[in-house]
Structure 1
Amino acid sequence: MKQNIAIICSGGDVSGMNPALKRFVEYSFEQNLTPYFVYDGYEGLIDNNIKKADYCDVAGIINRGGTKTGSARSKRFMQKEYRTIAKQNLDNLHVTMLIVLGGDGSFKGLHEFYKEHKIKFCGIPSTIDNDISGTDYCLGVDTALNMIKFSIDSIRDTASSFKRAFVIETMGNKCGYLALVSHLTSGSELCLIPEIPYNLNDYEEKFKREIKNGRRYFIAVVAEGIKQDSAEIAKWFEEKIGIESRVNILGHLQRGGNPTVKDRLMAYKFITYAIDGLMKNKNESIICYMESGFEYKEIDAVVNTPYQLNHELIKYISS
């Protein structure tokens, strides 16, 4: 008898989820499993918005950002009574395995769900903040970084033309990964992230000297979670450095976009490892990607360990 397996996209959407859905359907059939889509995250699990998936459901979606099945942040799933309803819905469809694409909040909900109902699951880190403990890479990060790269490169054109400073704000309320990597790979002049204390006065003399020596513009990349508003940073450029400035908040532009080759390939690999793990009785794991390759890690170790930004990357900005 075929086993039934379902997949959920939960929390913030990322480019890479649609390629993951495509691989999920195709590889499920290869493994003699019947695939189901849960629509609109955990909300769909509660509302029984669960439907059998087929090849026609994933045709032509590999190049699309976001997720065809929809996503949501579910407050109801935080309550035990609704998790019980979700389990009943899965039982009614004889779904015995679950794959969840999401971030820290999604995994914490999944952890509670498993402790109560013991449904086999595998989590795939999927958040552009790249702030999941135990993995170096989360699905969607590469596309987000490329969207930021394109934006910074475009803004630099007008910054140099008008002799301006631009403060470019990336997502990252508690984690400065996007801002830091974008700074290192764009050649920006200033990077401010939540993990590193800063004092703008430390940059004043250096920036003034650079203007005197012919610098025409500045690019500052800041994470949304820093202690100051981006407008305050722009005001500092005007009042202390003496250069006209503008703020550009990239916002949800970072979540969308055509998935990069890397995110498409990683989606393929994540899903393959997830299904293989479930078939080999890895019943409560998160698929993590490290320099050594893919690893199955118990969810306890992932959700109960605070994320720390890579020390080598921090060293580059601090040097």
Structure 2
Amino acid sequence: MKNIAILCSGGDVSGMNPAIKHFVEYALEKELTPYFVYDGFKGLIENKIVKATHKDVAGIINRGGTILGSARSKKFMEKKFREVAKKNLDALNIDMLVVLGGDGSFRGMDIFYKEQGIKFCGIPSTIDNDINGTEYCLGVDTALNVIKESIDNIRDTAASFSRAFVIETMGRDCGYLALVSALTCGAELCLIPEVEYDLKEYEKSFKKQIKNGRRYFIAVVSEGIKEESSEIAKWFEEKIGFESRATILGHTQRGGNPTIYDRLMAYKFVNHALDGMLEGRDESVICYTKKGFEYKSIDEVANKKYQLDDKLLSYLKKF
């Protein structure tokens, strides 16, 4: 039997545990021996590598985060420590890895493969949805549902007190979470890093809406815009004349019970990842595109900047 391992790297997302569960199930179905690597690349170096069974993944499908833990490792950037990681894998006859993570994790594995020969397949896993080459990353749907619940709850208070609420989402330099949330939650304002904005352009329209009876405003902003969310709230008070509050959702967006869609996508991502390696794809990332699932190179995925879909960006004109 061939041996295969799985690890999580970078930020955790809801959807990793369903992926880990199916990894064990599908590996055994394919007559592979599955192993866990705890604490990401750090675990490779510290030899936190353990054989996995069905018992290890029972009851985890509904849990957010990752039972394997995740950690960033500066040591893995050094060749001498990558050599240690290779020796640890060799001792267990593991020459295939499934990596749940983002573009930084994939770049690390690219070096590891070219230098040490460990085959791998990456599964895009980040709520930011900012990995080039894939329309969807594991964990995004759960994050969007957490944001949706938060905005819907905040709207109740906004309507009750006639206030403006500025809600900040995560996403680094990618406005995907903010834009999709604003569109699907009926926000009056959406600001994202990809599009330049001038708040003065909204003043006339918002004041007219107030005159016509508007009692509250919901603004969704991405953490990567040029101003702090508190500054946008201050603008509402000083220029629009509306009492305002800023709410930073922060890491609540990363956790929570994985949605049905994320559980299903975890299943499909894992199937394709293992099938790809068994078919001879030694270094790839499995991506979800308009054509379905595709295997893409590290260069295409990790070394090119992600761009929001033009059609999705065109919807921003409603704000």
Global fold match (TM > 0.5): yes
Question: Counterparts in 2 of 1:53-132, with a 5 A limit?
Answer: 53-132=52-131
Q: How many Å apart are 1:213 and its aligned residue?
A: 0.7
Number of equivalent positions: 318
| Match runs of 1:277-316 below 5 Å | 277-316=276-315
Q: Distance in 2 between matches of 1:199 and 1:79?
A: 45
Give the Cα separation in 2 of the matches to 1:72 and 1:289.
25
Inter-partner Cα distance in structure 1 for 2:77 and 2:112: 9
Runs of 4+ in 1 over 2 A off after TM superposition: none
Matched residues in 2 for 1:43 and 1:220: separation? 40
Partner of 2:242: 243
Structure 2 counterparts to residues 189-208 of structure 1, below 5 A: 189-208=188-207
Paired AA for residue 269 in structure 1: K
Task: List per-residue Cα deviations over 1:7-45 (Å, max 9, x = no partner).
Answer: 001100000000000000000100000000000111101
1:202 alignment partner, SS class: helix
Does the residue aligned with 2:273 lie in a helix, a strand or coil?
helix
Which deviations, in whole Å up to 9, do the C-alpha atoms of 1:45-82 show, x marking residues without a partner?
A: 11100100001100000000000010112222122221
CA distance in 2, matches of 1:13, 1:173: 15
Structure 1 unaligned segments of length 5 or more: list them: none
Report Cα offsets for 1:109-146 as digits up to 9, x if no partner. Answer: 11111111121100000000000000000000000000
* Deviation of 1:173 (Å): 1.4
**Distance in 2 (alpha carbons) for counterparts of 1:80 and 1:132:** 26
Name the CA distance, whole Å, in 2 between partners of 1:289 and 1:195. 22
Compute the displacement of 1:227 (Å).
Answer: 0.2
- State the 1:306 CA deviation: 1.2
**Partner SS, residue 37 of structure 1:** strand
SS of corresponding position for 2:300: helix
SS at match of 1:35: strand
Q: What pairs with 1:210-249 in structure 2 (closer than 5 Å)?
A: 210-249=209-248
Q: Distance in 1 between matches of 2:103 and 2:284?
A: 14
Distance 1:76 1:169 in 2: 33
Cα deviation, residue 263, structure 1:
0.2
RMSD: 0.7
Secondary structure at 1:248 match in 2: strand
Output the CA distance in 1 between the equivalents of 2:72 and 2:171.
17
1:25 matches 2:24 = yes
- Structure 1 segment 131-150 matched on structure 2, within 5 A: 131-150=130-149
Q: Map of 1:248-263 to 2, 5 A cutoff?
A: 248-263=247-262
Q: Distance in 1 between matches of 2:289 and 2:255?
A: 25
Instruction: Encode CA deviations 1:181-205: one digit per residue, 9 max, x unaligned.
Output: 0011011000000000001000011
User: Which digits, 9 at most, give the CA deviation of each residue in 1:268-297, with x for residues without a partner?
Assistant: 000000000110011101000011100011
* Residue 318 of structure 1, CA deviation: 2.5
Percent of aligned pairs with the same amino acid: 70
2:165 alignment counterpart: 166
CA distance in 2, matches of 1:32, 1:292: 30
Give the AA of the match of 2:42: E
Q: Which residue of 2 aligns with 1:180?
A: 179
Q: Distance in 2 between matches of 1:200 and 1:164?
A: 18
Structure 2, unmatched stretches of 5+, are none
CA distance in structure 2 between the aligned counterparts of 1:256 and 1:153, rounded to whole angstroms = 18
TM-score (norm 1): 0.99
Give 1:85 shift.
1.1
